[in-house]
Amino acid sequence: MSLIAGSYEKFIWGFKLKPLKHEPSSQNLTLTPLFSYQSHLAHITAAAASGPAAASGSADDTIHLYDLPSASSLGSLHQHTSSVTAVTFFTPPSLSFPRNLLSASADGSVCIFDTDPFVHLKTVLVHKKAVNDLSVHPSGKLALTVGRDECLAMLNLVRGRRSFYCRLGREASLVKFDLGGERFFMVTEEKVGVHEAEDAKLVTEFECPKRVLSAAPGEVSFLLLSVA
């Protein structure tokens, strides 16, 4: 497993999660550094990794790409004209390399890229204000976004256009599909709402003791959260 991390100091780090050398059969793991780059001109705002590829977005309006096995840079993308707020890959189950890269920015737009090679396919204006987060359905056919305009939007990735847009009444900071794509969840401050993917019906809602900073779906209906 590979991990990447970005910082306000403009640096991106890559790590490999490996078993301890003297305990190869043990469940004890260690992080081995792969690379460290001062890759951006401003603080890093988003990062994602899938298979051998990784990407970072920044307030300098650019996306930088990395090859994890060779610990090298693959170049940069310059389609955005404002701060990049989110990046995510889509990797079909049958492939080891991602098929698409999606990125969002502070001007409300989402860029769609083909990853072989990294070619810009389309830019879609989705929100009236900055996009806070985006998530691609496991099928790769659609994506959800939430923005500072207090709205939820759906992107049809087959046609490359926005297919749904509704006001939430409050700003959501995070949106994620579960691993099966049957449900998605949205985070607003301390509250987490779980919704049916088919009709966005609210299944349940729970409140954390503090503001939720990040979240990720896990197996067997687990949801992993980090709070302030």
DSSP string, 104-161: EETTSEEEEEEETTEEEEEEEE--SS-EEEEEE-TTSSEEEEEETTSEEEEEETTTTE
Residues 45 and 29 sit within 8 Å (Cβ to Cβ): no
Tens of each residue's pLDDT in the chain, 228 residues:
788 899 999 999 988 888 777 666 667 788 888 888 899 999 999 999 999 999 999 999 999 999 998 988 999 999 999 999 999 999 999 998 999 999 999 999 999 999 988 999 999 999 999 999 999 999 999 999 999 999 999 999 999 999 999 999 999 999 999 999 999 999 998 999 999 999 899 999 989 888 898 888 887 667 777 776
Give pLDDT, residue 177.
95
Q: Considering only CA atoms, which of 16, 15, 14, 3 is closest in space to residue 39?
A: 14
pLDDT at 221: 67
CA–CA gap between residue 87 and residue 102 (Å, rounded): 6
The reported pLDDT for the residue numbered 116 is 86
pLDDT of the residue at 216: 86
Structure tokens at 52: 């051998």
Separation of alpha carbons 117 and 65, rounded Å: 11
At 73 the three-state DSSP class reads strand
Give the contacts of 139 (CB within 8 A, at least 6 positions apart). Answer: 181
pTM value is 0.90
Interatomic CA distance for residues 48 and 31, integer angstroms: 17
Q: Where do runs of H (alpha helix) occur along the chain? A: none
CA–CA distance, 6 with 195 (Å, rounded to integer): 30
